[in-house]
């Protein structure tokens, strides 16, 4: 995830879910909702993913920040009990910690270039008003 982004500009947020266990598990992964950003999952959203031992699943979302400042985003992965087979294995989650959440802070800024241009235009308009609004003596 980048350190900072521009408000209103979309970026891709990726999460990698690793299974360090020797057996297969079924995992539900979600980017937790926030009023600070809009998000939509890039690939087909599944209810859960089968991840076997020493394998991983990469998920991604398109995120558009809506507010300025430090914004927290959190991704949660939860092991789901399931009657479905996971690669021909029955998923037994009775002895496993079931949920993990990662929270990251992202700095959301305004577009500096646009801000500087707007400020320069404002200063120019003020100077024009001051210079052309004055009755200066004619130069001979």
| Confidence (pLDDT) at 133 | 59
Neighbours of 108 (CB within 10 A): 19
Residues constituting the chain = 140
This prediction has a pTM of 0.70
The region that residue 20 occupies, defined by phi over 0 for left and psi between -120 and 50 for alpha, beta otherwise, is alpha
What is the chain's pLDDT, residue by residue, as a tens digit (140 residues)? Answer: 777 888 888 999 999 999 988 888 889 999 998 999 989 888 777 888 999 989 999 999 999 999 988 999 999 999 888 778 888 877 777 677 788 899 999 888 876 655 666 667 777 776 666 656 555 555 65
Locate the domains of the chain by residue range: 4-133
Phi, psi of 92 (to 5 degrees): -110, 110
Show the beta-strand stretches assigned E in the chain. 4-6, 11-18, 25-31, 37-41, 49-51, 56-65, 69-79, 85-86, 89-90, 99-109
Q: What backbone torsions phi and psi does residue 60 show, to the nearest 5 degrees?
A: -140, 150
**How far is the C-alpha of 25 from the C-alpha of 79, rounded, in Å?**
7
Encoded tokens for 96: 């496993």
SS3 126: helix
Report whether 105 contacts 138 (CB < 8 A). Answer: no
- Residue 120, H or E segment: helix 112-133
Q: Which CATH superfamily is domain 4-133 in?
A: Immunoglobulins (2.60.40.10)
Q: What is the pLDDT of residue 65?
A: 92
Name the token pair of 36.
Answer: 């600070």
């Amino acid at each position: 995830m980048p350190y900072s982004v521009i408000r209103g500009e979309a970026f891709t947020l990726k999460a990698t879910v690793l299974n360090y266990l020797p057996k297969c598990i079924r995992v539900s992964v979600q980017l937790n909702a926030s009023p600070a950003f809009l998000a939509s999952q890039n690939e087909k959203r599944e209810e859960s993913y089968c991840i076997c031992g020493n394998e991983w699943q990469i998920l991604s979302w398109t995120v558009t920040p809506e507010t300025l400042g430090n914004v927290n985003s959190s991704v949660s992965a939860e092991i789901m009990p399931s009657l479905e087979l996971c690669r021909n294995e029955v998923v037994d989650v009775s002895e496993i910690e079931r949920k993990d959440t990662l929270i990251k802070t992202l700095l959301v800024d305004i577009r500096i270039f646009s801000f500087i241009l707007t400020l320069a235009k404002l200063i120019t308009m003020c100077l024009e008003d001051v210079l052309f609004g004055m009755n200066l003596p004619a130069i001979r």
